[in-house]
Amino acid sequence: MRKDLGVKPYLFPMPVLMIATYGSDDVVDVMNMAWGGICSEDMVALNISEDHKTTDNIKKRKAFTVSIASLKYMDEADYFGIASGNKVSDKFARTGLTAIKSKFVDAPIIDEFPVTLECELVEAEQTIYDYRVLGRIKNVSVREEVLTEGKVDPSKIQALIFDQFQNGYYVVGEKVGQAWKNGIKYVNKK
């Protein structure tokens, strides 16, 4: 038996992404968002409201970073979704996190977050639904402690995911299968 819930943004899991930019005054701004992700091999798409400080910064600086929020910094990540950069000028400073300048784009890397995509703006436009930002990934930097044998180990990231059903956070971690191998048994099945 199934129950209809109507039109809701119920897709799970949703990543908890930290979008970081510099303002015109070089102040670091970070926002928490779930409605974004990879849209091709070297591209990121963000569905964002145009009235965010982050959106204005992206338009002016033509760059941004996208980091994966982790369990260790859940409170800071949540705060970046609570406070508006338009209203709180020292939003980033209040958290005590560390920003370092990307070598690849004009945007900050939040050093404590384990994985960061450094992106240059390709396109930003108002669509019929919302404001859409496309960025080209110029580099991915990671904290060494999330590597195993030189590769990113998702279980070490402890990535936060957002639950749109009850507005909760969950952690990704346990590997339960191998892509392009678990379903191979159906390839020759008749």
- Domain harbouring 66, CATH code: 2.30.110.10
Domain presence at residue 161: yes
Domain presence at residue 35: yes
Domain count, the chain: 1
Domain presence at residue 179: yes
Closest CA to 39 of 127, 98, 117, 92: 117
Domain presence at residue 173: yes
Q: Return the pLDDT at 69.
A: 93
Domain presence at residue 77: yes
Q: Return the pLDDT at 145.
A: 96
Q: Looking at this protein, which amino acid is placed at residue 10?
A: Y
Q: Return the pLDDT at 159.
A: 95
Q: Return the pLDDT at 26.
A: 95
Per the confidence metrics, is the pTM higher than 0.85? yes
Q: Return the pLDDT at 42.
A: 97
Domain presence at residue 50: yes
Range list of β-strands (E), 23-176: 28-33, 36-40, 43-48, 63-68, 99-101, 108-110, 115-126, 131-142, 147-148, 151-152, 160-163, 168-171
Q: Return the pLDDT at 123.
A: 96
Separation of alpha carbons 34 and 121, rounded Å: 19
Q: Which residues of the chain have pLDDT under 50?
A: none
Domain presence at residue 159: yes
Query: Residue 100 sits in which domain range?
Result: 14-186
Domain presence at residue 25: yes
